[in-house]
Amino acid sequence: RGGGEEGRWERMGRTGDKGKEMSEVSEEGEGVLKMEPLSSLTSSLTSSSTSPPPPPPLKLVLMSATVDAERFSSYFNGCKVLMAEGRTFPVERVFLPDIYEMLSYELDPESPAAVSPYGAGYRGGMRGGGAREEMVRARRQLMNMAGSGDRSASMSLATWDDDALDAATGGRDLLSSPLNPYYVDEDHRHLSRSTRLNLARLKEDVIDLNLLLKLILHLHFGPKRDDPKALKEWEKRRGEEGRDLGAILVFLPGMHEISALMDRLANHPRVVDANSRMAGGGFSSSGWSGNYNYNQNSSHHNYQRNFQRDGRGPPNTPPQLAIIPLHSLVSPEEQQRALELPPPGVRKVVLSTNVAETSLTIPDVVHVIDSGRLREKRYDPLHGSSSLDLAWISKAAARQRAGRAGRVCPGVVWCGFTENCFDFRMRAFQVPEIMRVSLEEVVLQILAMGRGPVPEFLAKLVDPPPAAALEASMASLLQMGVIRLVA
């Protein structure tokens, strides 16, 4: 169910209506491969009434969180669509520019998330002159010192000559000639210069893990004490409707990004300090120990438990941070830890793929951080090769991810993308899987059910696959001797 797993068809048995049977097709993941042939079968079942003896009337229920309901309704002869609203509290949406403003974040020109003025392959070489190199190196050093609490470094950054850096970075004014092809400065004049420069050099297709790290730390610890305005706003937001210790759910494309962010977060000095203040060990009555410090020497994401039975530390100390991964290789026991409520004084940060989008519900989430990305199977029929590509999620998936917050109190979804990206670069719905993957498995499935000829059967689907992909898959199966042509 969901998360790329195949759909499920359940015969529910006879209902209260005399002579009727009900079947339920649960397909919580959008565009699931085996769902498409199933839709063709169910369509033929609901439309066939001439074969003797006539079958009993069939009631078919299709359930999905992110499907294009109108498209499926049209396919099934205008059937009724029922909407079940799962969100019980309002969810505020915050896009990338406002995150930049809140954090006073400055995107390092040398970051992987920044477009290099010298081309994709350039990262910190001597091209551009020694003056530029020295400026970039000095700025990075100041940013690192400021991030560690050095007030003098923060003051130096506040008076930094951005125009001089712009001139050194390729001799261009980034605001009038942005490196980001999707940035239009006229639409962002209300923002600070620093945020506008971030957006002007932003490589929108790359996830900025450093930004996600700073956002998690901000949500958990709050802003620096030397920023009274930001601190007051954070305290107000933190105290609203019990958001102070609600879980943080971060959506990432895959295990690589989860491991990278987990390393940075678990080894950050503020997290290490907060977690080290909790002495002792032990388990709660449910057996969930709450805090899991990532062990870099383990390839299986083992964690060391090190907090008191009740999860409380010394007075006036920040709560512990329990970092929990959630992906396809996580054991059922580890999944359960993500679903359970932590002990008092412990906050969960769940780093997840889209498995938490529909398949699992974490009840105490009040903050969702959405990278806006996923890994998607794609097939090139010309070269006969498949790949797992990084792609934008759909608007439907973005709304579904936002809905993970707001289950127990008003929540917030922090979008790692711009509103312009949401409006114009994200599809309304994800491209159905059968339109973008190899079809060998589907062809064999259709032949095993005795539903050939294959091209005729696939032509009846909601979204028939490309002819080139079908021809390539049939040719591959013929070459392997798995199928044969029949005159």
Model pLDDT, residue 145: 64
Strand 293-294 relative to strand 303-304: parallel, antiparallel, unpaired?
antiparallel
More confidently predicted of 346 and 25: 346
Model pLDDT, residue 298: 35
Instruction: Give the whole-angstrom CA distance, residue 443 versus residue 454.
Output: 7
Give, to the nearest 10 degrees, the angle between helix 193-201 and helix 96-103: 130
Model pLDDT, residue 261: 97
pLDDT band at 330 (very low <50, low <70, confident <90, very high): confident
Model pLDDT, residue 226: 53
Model pLDDT, residue 164: 52
Model pLDDT, residue 135: 57
Extract the tokens encoding 67: 């499907």
pLDDT digits (tens, 9 = 90+) for 88-135: 789 999 999 999 999 999 999 889 999 987 655 444 443 444 445 555
Model pLDDT, residue 309: 31
The position carrying tokens 């190199």 is 133
Q: What is the pLDDT averaged over residues 381-407?
A: 90
Domains of the chain by residue range? 8-75, 91-96+207-424, 438-480
pLDDT averaged over every residue in the chain? 76
Beta bridge partners of 294: 303
pLDDT band at 456 (very low <50, low <70, confident <90, very high): very high
More confidently predicted of 36 and 424: 424
pLDDT band at 419 (very low <50, low <70, confident <90, very high): very high
pLDDT band at 317 (very low <50, low <70, confident <90, very high): low
More confidently predicted of 417 and 51: 417
More confidently predicted of 311 and 210: 210
Extract the tokens encoding 433: 């899987």
pLDDT at residue 68 tops 70: yes
Instruction: Give the whole-angstrom CA distance, residue 38 versus residue 58.
Output: 15
Model pLDDT, residue 256: 94
Model pLDDT, residue 241: 42
Nearest to 342 by CA among 315, 358, 360, 319: 319
User: pTM for this structure?
Assistant: 0.74
Instruction: Give the whole-angstrom CA distance, residue 256 versus residue 56.
Output: 51
pLDDT at residue 86 tops 50: yes
Model pLDDT, residue 128: 43
Model pLDDT, residue 361: 82
More confidently predicted of 385 and 260: 260
Nearest to 339 by CA among 360, 354, 309, 368: 360
Instruction: Give the whole-angstrom CA distance, residue 405 versus residue 402.
Output: 6
pLDDT at residue 146 tops 80: no
**What DSSP line would sit under 125-145, residue for residue?**
-STT-HHHHHHHHHHHHHHHH
Exposure on the CB side of residue 153, measured as CA atoms within 13 A: 13
Model pLDDT, residue 296: 34
Q: What is the pLDDT averaged over residues 68-73?
A: 88
Q: Which fold has domain 91-96+207-424?
A: Rossmann fold (3.40.50)
pLDDT at residue 224 tops 80: no
pLDDT band at 182 (very low <50, low <70, confident <90, very high): very high
Instruction: Give the whole-angstrom CA distance, residue 17 versus residue 351.
Output: 45
Among 294-303, 367-376, 391-400, 475-484, which is the least confidently predicted range?
A: 294-303
Instruction: Give the whole-angstrom CA distance, residue 58 versus residue 45.
Output: 8
pLDDT band at 212 (very low <50, low <70, confident <90, very high): very high
SS3 assignment, position 215: helix
Give yes or no for a contact between 362 and 350, defined as CB atoms under 8 angstroms apart. Answer: yes
Question: Around Cβ 203, how many Cβ atoms within 10 Å?
Answer: 17
Instruction: Give the whole-angstrom CA distance, residue 313 versus residue 294.
Output: 20
pLDDT at residue 301 tops 70: no
Provide, rounded to the nearest whole percent, the portion of the chain with pLDDT above 90: 37
More confidently predicted of 87 and 98: 98
**In Å, what is the CA distance from 25 to each residue of 69, 361, 384?**
14, 20, 32
DSSP for residue 209: H
Give yes or no for a contact between 216 and 369, defined as CB atoms under 8 angstroms apart. Answer: yes
